[in-house]
Amino acid sequence: MLSERIQQIHTEFESDISKVSDLKELENIRIKYLSRNGLISSLFDELKNVAKEDKPVVGKSLNELRNHSTNQFNVLKEKLESTSSADGEKIDLTLPGVTKVLGSKHILTQTLDEIKIIFKGLGFSVFDGPELESDYNNFEALNFQPDHPARDMQDTFFISKDFLLRTHTSPVQIRVMNSHQPPVRAIMPGRVYRNEAVSSRSYCMFHQVEGLYVDTDVTFAELKGTLVSFARQFYGEDLNYRFRPSFFPFTEPSAEMDITCYLCHGKGCKVCKQTGWLEILGCGMVDPNVFGFVNYDAEKYTGYAFGMGIERTAMLKYGITDIRVFFENDLRFLKQF
């Protein structure tokens, strides 16, 4: 009989405590069940009437009930106390927390960082070079012959007859090769300038990452392998790629690398001009004339070079359609990344 009572009081307790929502109600529970005159105490009083042989079993379950309900009570008490002020009033936990402003790097820096991490992982060093360059480093030593229409490919801001704002990061190749002997494996990020009318698609200044690897057995096949590895790490594993012949005075053979347009997955859309392909970089094998300018033995060494625009890369990746937004530094833009 007592064991049935125990069971019944257990059920009652569970039901009562589940309805408690404040400390006052909880106190009522304590009085009803756990106080000296409470229901559980009264059950202990009845224990003496139980048959001797049943005592250990019933006693055990009674102890269990007491421990269980005391526990339940304590847990809930702690919970209710922590959400109430000293006088028992409820705290509004939904009030906003205190946040710290976290700054952020410019999205172009973040994009460059991603590119840098990949190439550093492939054993590349990182070099820097000046933006106000000599005509020699920017054009002549890169095999742009004077008076050649190839110079028209890059509209130039001139500072004087022999100095200009670099039109690409390629002059850093010349600087690195002049100061290091092969093997040279490096990327050279930086800011470049073009005297082109400012529009949503072109700006008078932008950023590039140049890459260079010169050693005794560098092949076009390795160039392809390295750049495909980069593209897969940067744009995603499942892309297709193609290398198309192109022309740069400082590489021969030269190529442009396209990857599957990841907006339309190659089906053709506005961004890829319905071709299904996106051009991501220019590259090629270092022209022997360039080796001549830096006194490398063009018979002994071969090398590859590549260059990509960071703005273009970021625009593709983040769906930005107007290049000017990068340089307006509107806080509402900066905070998005």
Partner 1 sequence: MKISLNWLKEYVDLQNISNEEIISKLNMSGLEVEDVVNQNEIYKDFIVAFVKEKKKHPNADKLSLCTVDTGKEELQVICGAPNVDAGQKVVFAPIGTLIPKGNFRITKAKIRGTESCGMICAEDELELSDDHGGIMILENELKQGTPITEALHLNDVILEIAITPNRPDALSHIGVARDLAALFSLKFKTPEIKLPSSHKKIKDSASVEIEDEINCPRYSAKVLTGIKVKESPAWLKEKLKNAGLRPINNIVDVTNYVMYETGQPLHAFDLDRLSKNKIIVKSTKEETFFRTLDSKERKLPAGTLMICDGEKQVAIAGIMGGENSEINSSTKNILIESAYFNTSSIRKTSKILSLTTDASYRFERGIDPNGTLYSAERAAQLIFEISGGDILEGAIDVYPERIIEKVVELRLNRLKKLLGYEIPEQKVKSILKYLGFEIAKENSGSLVCKVPTFRPDVEREVDLIEEIARINGYENIPTISKINITLGEKFDELEFADRIRNAATSLGFFEMINNPLQGEKSASVVGNKIRVLNPQSADMMYLRTSLIPGALSVVAKNNNVGEKDLALFEIGNIFNQKNLNSAINSFDDFIEKQTVIFLVSGKSSLKKWNSDEKNFDFYYLKGLVDSFIMNISLDNVLNDSYYHNAESIYDISFCKSYENTVLGSGGKVKKEVLKQFDIHQDVFCFEFDVELLKKIPVKEKHFVEPLKYPKIVRDFAFVFDKNISYEEVSAFIKKSGSELLKSVDLFDLFESEALGGNKKSMAFTLEYFSESRTLTEEEVEKEFLNLISSVTKNFNAKLRGN
Query: Binding residues for Zn ion, per CB under 5 A?
Result: 261, 263-264, 269, 272
Nearer to partner 1 by C-beta: 186 or 305? Answer: 186
Q: How do strand 302-309 and strand 205-215 relate by DSSP bridges?
A: antiparallel
CA-CA distance, 320 to 108, in Å (whole number)?
A: 12
Q: Dihedral sign, CA of 271, 273, 277, 280?
A: negative
Q: Closest approach of Cβ 196 to Zn ion, in Å?
A: 25
Residues in region 255-284 near partner 1 by CB under 8 A:
255
Residues in region 154-213 near partner 1 by CB under 8 A:
157-163, 165, 183, 185-186, 189, 191, 193, 195, 197-198, 203-205
Q: Closest approach of Cβ 141 to partner 1, in Å?
A: 15
Nearer to Zn ion by C-beta: 188 or 257? Answer: 257
Q: Closest approach of Cβ 244 to partner 1, in Å?
A: 6
Cα 71 to the chain's mean position, in Å?
Answer: 47
CA-CA distance, 199 to 147, in Å (whole number)?
A: 28
Task: Tell me if 148 contacts partner 1 by CB under 8 A.
Answer: yes
Among 149, 238, 295, 319, binds partner 1 (CB under 8 A): 149
**Contact by Cβ (8 Å): 285, 220:** yes
Residue bearing tokens 């930086």: 190
Among 224, 233, 264, 317, binds partner 1 (CB under 8 A): 224
CA-CA distance, 73 to 160, in Å (whole number)?
A: 86
Q: How do strand 277-286 and strand 251-260 relate by DSSP bridges?
A: antiparallel
Nearer to partner 1 by C-beta: 70 or 202? Answer: 202
Nearer to Zn ion by C-beta: 97 or 319? Answer: 319
Determine whether 4 is exposed, middle or buried from the number of CB atoms within 10 Å of its CB (0-12, 13-18, 19+).
exposed
**Contact by Cβ (8 Å): 168, 208:** yes
Choose from Zn ion, partner 1, none: what does 269 bind? Cβ within 5-8 Å by kind.
Answer: Zn ion
Task: Tell me if 222 contacts partner 1 by CB under 8 A.
Answer: yes
The tokens for 51 are 């048959």
Residues in region 63-122 near partner 1 by CB under 8 A:
95-96, 98, 100-106, 108-109, 113, 116, 120, 122
Task: Tell me if 287 contacts partner 1 by CB under 8 A.
Answer: yes
* Residue length of the chain: 337
Q: Closest approach of Cβ 296 to partner 1, in Å?
A: 14
Bin 200: left if φ > 0, else alpha if -120 < ψ < 50, else beta.
alpha
What SS3 class is residue 213?
strand
Choose from Zn ion, partner 1, none: what does 61 bind? Cβ within 5-8 Å by kind.
Answer: none
Kindly indicate which of the ranges 11-19, 47-55, 59-67, 240-248 contains the residues binding partner 1, using the contact rule CB under 8 A.
Answer: 240-248
Nearer to partner 1 by C-beta: 165 or 294? Answer: 165
